[in-house]
Chains A and B, each alone.
Chain A
């Protein structure tokens, strides 16, 4: 369990703490006791001869939860510290400027800053209005484009259908291998004469000597 958990958290401070799960099995007993009444050269007492000091046991699930809590806690604390630092900077800056320029200049500066903020707000509102309108127009145009496209597709399909129907109509009169003999017979039986005469006035004469 420590290896897969250590893979993601091992870079932090958790891997040493995770090792304490197996401490009772793996770590050798600590031989150097903490200082107290005795100096470092005094031998340990006989009652402490077989004493094995172990660190407190650690549950991996609880450790993960606690590590996550610490991470969030430190995040918030860092933000708070930045905030307080900013306040201190602001105060020192104001004191310095007040000392240098006097109260009227500070008030003028504050008034100008307020005016600047108001200007920024107004321009931002205008800009947002413009952007919203442009967005709406874009949506409209897109919609129109989609409708146009749909209409064109419909027309195209209709046209193609028309063509197909026309072809089907014409196919009725086609000459196929089944009709071939009949058609040839029909043509031979009904000779047709395509000759005609026309004069400059436009009078057409179909009857001729050959027919």
Chain B
């Protein structure tokens, strides 16, 4: 009987102490970003909604997708996205980091990122400059 009462009391106290053990953030915000996992020479990213000040691979609020940067046997890079939860977090005011923005631009949820277009243009220009240079090198050698 006494033991039972003691257990009830401890339960009540721990309920109120647990709130104090939780981390309180001041002025932080939620960010949707990459959390790196995998092994040596084998990266793997989880797209994660986490508080800004948390460690990169630390405790997160919710996993919202995944991204495998290494291409598979069909030369594809796999990306998984939970669009509904993404929309929910962005509607709650989460910030989105640049790599995630670029991925979402490729997926179609966001428009294509400006730097994606700019880098593609720069690459094209560089290849156009290199192609005549190499052809000029080949023809005198012949």
**CB closest residue in chain B, given A69:** B114
Within 8 A of B (CB), among A126-169: none
Q: List 9 A-B contacts (CB under 8 A).
A: A66-B118, A69-B118, A70-B114, A72-B111, A73-B111, A76-B110, A77-B110, A80-B90, A87-B88
Q: Does A88 contact B (CB under 8 A)?
A: yes
Return B30 CB to nearest CB of chain A, in Å.
13
Pair A88/B88 contact, Cβ less than 8 Å: yes
A42 at the interface (CB under 8 A from B): no
Q: How far is the CB of A63 from chain B (nearest CB, A)?
A: 10
The interface residues of chain A, by DSSP majority, are classed as: helix
A85 touching B114, Cβ below 8 Å: no
Which chain A positions have C-beta within 8 A of B87? 84, 87-88
Q: Is B90 a contact partner of A62 (Cβ separation < 8 A)?
A: no
Q: Beyond A73-B113, A76-B111, A80-B110, is A85–B118 a contact (Cβ under 8 Å)? A: no
Check if A203 is an interface residue, CB within 8 A of chain B. Answer: no
Judged by a CB distance under 8 angstroms, whether A81 is at the interface is yes
Closest to A67 in B: B114
Separation of A69 and B110 alpha carbons in the complex (Å): 14
> Across the interface, do B117 and A85 meet the contact criterion of CB distance under 8 Å?
no
Question: Is B12 at the interface (CB under 8 A from chain A)?
Answer: no
Interface size (A, Cβ < 8 Å)?
Answer: 17
| Complex CA–CA separation, A77 to B91 (angstroms) | 12
Within 8 A of A (CB), among B53-98: 87-88, 90-93
Which 7 A-B residue pairs are closest in the complex by CB-CB distance?
Answer: A84-B91, A88-B91, A69-B114, A85-B91, A84-B87, A84-B90, A76-B111
Number of B positions contacting A (CB below 8 A): 14
Q: Given the known A-B contacts A77-B110, A80-B110, are A69 and B88 also in contact in the complex, defined by CB atoms under 8 Å?
A: no
A88 / chain B contacts, CB cutoff of 8 Å: 87-88, 91-92
Report the nearest B residue to A82, measured CB to CB.
B91
Bound form: Cα–Cα A73–B101 in Å = 11
A70 CB contacts on chain B under 8 angstroms: 114
Chain A min CB distance to B83 (Å): 11
User: In the complex, what residue of chain A is closest to B90 when comparing beta carbons?
Assistant: A84
> Is there an interface contact between B118 and A87, defined as CB atoms closer than 8 Å?
no
Q: Per a CB cutoff under 8 Å, which of A66, A80, A87, A89 touches B114?
A: A66
Closest partner residue, chain B, to A75 (CB atom): B111
